[in-house]
Amino acid sequence: MSNPFIHETQKSGHGILVDIIQALVVAITINVVIYFLFIIPSQVDGPSMVPFLHDKELLFANKTPSWFNDNPDTLKKLNWDYQRGDIIIFDFENIVLVKRIIAKEGDTVMLKDGDVYVNEQKLVQAYLPAGLKTYIPQAGLSNLEEGVAVTVPAASFFVMGDNRPNSKDSRFKEVGFVPRSKIKGVVFFRFWPLDRLGVISNGGN
């Protein structure tokens, strides 16, 4: 004669196992959806963002603003648009670059005596090492002229790396202004190396 108590115990254990598996499947599904719809991973390649970001560091970027790259008015109404100081990832000649937004469409940008001016105001760049200057590239390579303000075109951004002497960015004709359509996401988290793990905030003014 079978023992009903043993039967109930076995049935309960099986039910718990099923619940655990179901919970894991749901959790994995949610994470996969979040990963593919909302987050894009990226790796820093080179020294152009030193000291804020270092070569080979791994980052997560929020890709949701890029959903509206063709409809920026929606982003602006939601106060979700790209901002000065944001670190973005964007497509450039079949590679992905990581740079910081310095100026937005309609802003004027000028480099003079190693300082950056946006809308005629000297830019305070707390994310840069003290005393670091920003100079235009040599003649023929530069997108700017010393002391001459340029206006960022519509649907575009002016970006620079934090390591100004070692960054190919909007100062160069080769890169120029970054079209909104090329932006893939806004960096918000560094997940490698573990000793530098943490949230990355906007460094704008």
48 is a catalytic site residue: yes
CB 134 within 8 A of CB 115: yes
Q: Using CA atoms, how far apart are residues 167 and 150, in angstroms rounded to an integer?
A: 20
- Measured between its terminal Cα atoms, the distance across the chain in Å is 79
- Is 167 among the catalytic positions? no
Between the alpha carbon of residue 87 and those of residues 26, 121, 180, the distances in Å are: 32, 21, 14
- Concatenate the DSSP letters of all residues of 26-60 into one string: HHHHHHHHHHHHHEEEEE--SSTTTTTS-TT-EEE
**Given 99, 156, 167, 170, which residue is catalytic?**
99
Annotated catalytic residue: which of 42, 48, 66, 167?
48
Residues marked active site are found at: 48, 99
